[in-house]
Amino acid sequence: MLFFTRWKAAAILLTALAVCLFAVPNFFPERMVKNWPSWAQRHIVLGLDLQGGSHLLLQVDAATVRKDQLLSINEDVLRVLRTARIPFTGRAIRGNAVEVHITRDTDIDNALGKLRELSQPVGGFAGTTGQRTIDVAQNGGVITLTPTDAAITERVHQAVDQSIQIIERRVNEIGLVEPTIQREGIDRILVQVPGLQDPSHLKELIGKTAKLDFRMVDLSMTPEQAAQAHPSDSEILDGEKGEKYLIEKRVLVSGADLVDAQPGFDQRTNEPIVSFRFNSSGARKFAEATQANVGKPFAIVLDNKVISAPRINEPILGGSGQISGSFTVQSANDLAILLRAGALPAPLTIIEERTVGPGLGQDSINAGEHAAYAGAALVIIFMFVTYGLFGLFANIAVAINVAMIFGVLSLLSATLTLPGIAGIVLTVGIAVDSNVLIYERIREEVRHGRSAINAIDAGFTRALATILDSNITTFIAAAVLFYIGTGPVRGFAVTLGIGIITTLFTAFTLTRLIVAYWVRLWRPKVVPI
């Protein structure tokens, strides 16, 4: 147990040194580290609880995704049956399916075949699951088309991807530093912004779907009359100040046709406005619509709210225009950002928010440091008092152990949280325990009458088996914690898990190596513990 070949000793020391060196970039300011080679730049990232910042967990509204898909199937059914000239009645969305009644029994097989073509393999050509997007069923003259769960999941997945891109654009526009935007699970998005103290503005920007439509105002009746009559082609929408409008459902031009939007001021009234520009097809559609409706009001609808309903004084042919509502500079600016970034495919709900101010973060770092120093001091003194020279060896090994934890954390660019610091402090406890196990075993072997070198050797052999067993159980707990944990808890599991591995490394190699060299140099007759 105490014999090391020269190259083995060198390998152990080099490994320990190399791992420790990875921790070095953490101690230099970032602008210095930037000039270093890229492999040497990896460093520990402070968690939001330490550096302050906002953590928002968003969920894509799966119900909207499902509804949109039913609407599009409904449209497809209409198109397919019309193209094939198959007469039908009673086409409608019922629950989670689209139903259509085929008028003539002789057409049913034909219709079934045509409608089945709407169903695609899930995941496009790459789809290998064999699942299809729509279940088509027939019962007498009624054909039912139900989107499959796999198809909905796929759509939600796509909606999350699109939303991430759009949120990225929106967030970048307001100049936040290093936001992280990533998928969580199937239908969730995690947004983390370091240093952000008040996420209200961010939440406002993320929380808006920003679906913009230009539609005509329905003048055939008043909104009050419409509330009784329920016209099928129009709907009642609220204005900015709670006033009611009756707006046609047909969309003249949608926000998808916008190429640019900028905040500005109206030259006459000096009120904040948002000016916009359409792409060519949008410009053409807008020109046609305004030509046909001079003198009538149209409505600019954002997320089912009427921002303004101006009168068309003359045809707008240039493909650009401006929106004036009751804007403030801030809200005009926000609307321009939202329009440029595009609409979200489905609304997002904030289901979790954690914001830590910079004051608390700094306090936590200080608290963690103080606790680490105090804990280390107590343990170092106690070990020295209890085991003397060997206690000193243990302290060296534990110090290297901690340095190695920081090295591995840097190598992984891991996030250090406050519970993570707690994990490191506890690892110190475990690392000390491995030394205690070895030394107590050596003491015992000495009592049993073994010679010094013999006792040290036997102590190591027996204690290491125990250390392995006991650490693996703790490691299992850490692994489970990592797997199920989120955020801060995961930070704790990471440091604890890494700590156990470095503890095993130092116990099995470093401590043994130090003691082995001491034995070789001093040739002791008695063990000084």
Give the footprint of other proteins on residues 315-354 (CB under 8 A). 349-354
Instruction: Pick from 35, 483, 521, 523 the residue near other proteins by CB under 8 A.
Output: 483
Asked if residue 307 binds other proteins (CB under 8 A), the reply is: no
Rule CB under 8 A: which of 509-528 touch other proteins?
528
Among the listed ranges 117-125, 145-153, 293-301, 366-374, the one in contact with other proteins (CB under 8 A) is 366-374
Instruction: Pick from 40, 129, 484, 522 the residue near other proteins by CB under 8 A.
Output: 484
Give the integer Cα–Cα distance in Å for 27 and 33: 9
How far, in whole angstroms, is CA 34 from its chain's centroid? 26
Rule CB under 8 A: which of 13-72 touch other proteins?
49, 57, 59
Shortest distance, position 105 Cβ to other proteins, whole Å: 47
Instruction: Pick from 82, 328, 476, 522 the residue near other proteins by CB under 8 A.
Output: 476
Shortest distance, position 261 Cβ to other proteins, whole Å: 26
Listed in sequence order, the DSSP H helices in 181-328 are 200-207, 223-229, 280-292
What stretch of H or E contains 253? strand 244-254
Asked if residue 74 binds other proteins (CB under 8 A), the reply is: no
Give the integer Cα–Cα distance in Å for 247 and 217: 5
In terms of Cβ atoms closer than 10 Å to its own Cβ (0-12, 13-18, 19+), residue 336 is: buried
Instruction: Pick from 94, 250, 370, 520 the residue near other proteins by CB under 8 A.
Output: 370
Among the listed ranges 3-11, 12-20, 219-227, 490-498, the one in contact with other proteins (CB under 8 A) is 490-498
- Is 492 or 505 the residue whose CB approaches other proteins more closely? 492
Give the integer Cα–Cα distance in Å for 464 and 452: 18
Among the listed ranges 76-84, 171-179, 275-283, 363-371, the one in contact with other proteins (CB under 8 A) is 363-371
Shortest distance, position 158 Cβ to other proteins, whole Å: 21
Asked if residue 387 binds other proteins (CB under 8 A), the reply is: yes
Instruction: Pick from 80, 360, 453, 501 the residue near other proteins by CB under 8 A.
Output: 360
Asked if residue 374 binds other proteins (CB under 8 A), the reply is: yes
Contact 490, 482 (CB under 8 A): yes
**Degrees (nearest 5) of the Cα angle 230, 251, 322?**
120
- Bridge pairing between strands 320-323 and 244-254: unpaired
Shortest distance, position 480 Cβ to other proteins, whole Å: 4
Asked if residue 419 binds other proteins (CB under 8 A), the reply is: yes
Rule CB under 8 A: which of 185-244 touch other proteins?
197-198, 200, 203
Asked if residue 98 binds other proteins (CB under 8 A), the reply is: no
* Site size with other proteins, rule: CB under 8 A: 78
Contacts of 453 (CB under 8 A, 6+ apart): 2, 519, 524
SS3 letters across 276-288: EEECHHHHHHHHH
b/e sequence 449-474, b meaning 16+ C-beta within 10 Å: ebebeebbbbbbebbbeebeeebeeb
Give the integer Cα–Cα distance in Å for 277 and 226: 33
Asked if residue 392 binds other proteins (CB under 8 A), the reply is: no
What's the CA dihedral at 226, 229, 231, 232 to 10 degrees?
Answer: 140
Kindly report each contact of residues 22-27 with a partner whose C-beta sits within 8 Å and lies 24 or more positions away, as own/partner. 22/406, 22/407, 22/408, 22/410, 22/411, 23/403, 23/404, 23/406, 23/407, 23/409, 23/410, 25/410, 26/406, 26/410
What backbone torsions phi and psi does residue 316 show, to the nearest 5 degrees?
-100, 105
Among the listed ranges 239-247, 266-274, 422-430, 519-527, the one in contact with other proteins (CB under 8 A) is 422-430
- Is 222 or 349 the residue whose CB approaches other proteins more closely? 349
Instruction: Pick from 299, 383, 408, 504 the residue near other proteins by CB under 8 A.
Output: 383
Shortest distance, position 492 Cβ to other proteins, whole Å: 5
- Is 290 or 495 the residue whose CB approaches other proteins more closely? 495
What backbone torsions phi and psi does residue 141 show, to the nearest 5 degrees?
-90, 0
Shortest distance, position 364 Cβ to other proteins, whole Å: 6
Among the listed ranges 4-12, 103-111, 324-332, 485-493, the one in contact with other proteins (CB under 8 A) is 485-493
Instruction: Pick from 480, 517, 520, 522 the residue near other proteins by CB under 8 A.
Output: 480
Spatial strand order in the sheet of 320-323: 258-265, 272-278, 320-323
Asked if residue 471 binds other proteins (CB under 8 A), the reply is: yes
Shortest distance, position 331 Cβ to other proteins, whole Å: 16
Closest CA to 450 of 460, 462, 458: 458
| DSSP state for residue 35 in the 8-state scheme | T
Listed in sequence order, the DSSP H helices in 250-293 are 280-292
Asked if residue 120 binds other proteins (CB under 8 A), the reply is: no
Instruction: Pick from 74, 96, 148, 386 the residue near other proteins by CB under 8 A.
Output: 386
| DSSP state for residue 509 in the 8-state scheme | I
Shortest distance, position 447 Cβ to other proteins, whole Å: 6
Shortest distance, position 186 Cβ to other proteins, whole Å: 13
Within 13 Å, how many C-alpha atoms sit on residue 507's CB side? 30
- Is 20 or 493 the residue whose CB approaches other proteins more closely? 493
Rule CB under 8 A: which of 134-153 touch other proteins?
none
Asked if residue 393 binds other proteins (CB under 8 A), the reply is: no
Instruction: Pick from 73, 190, 202, 425 the residue near other proteins by CB under 8 A.
Output: 425
What stretch of H or E contains 418? helix 418-447
Instruction: Pick from 443, 454, 501, 524 the residue near other proteins by CB under 8 A.
Output: 443
Shortest distance, position 196 Cβ to other proteins, whole Å: 11
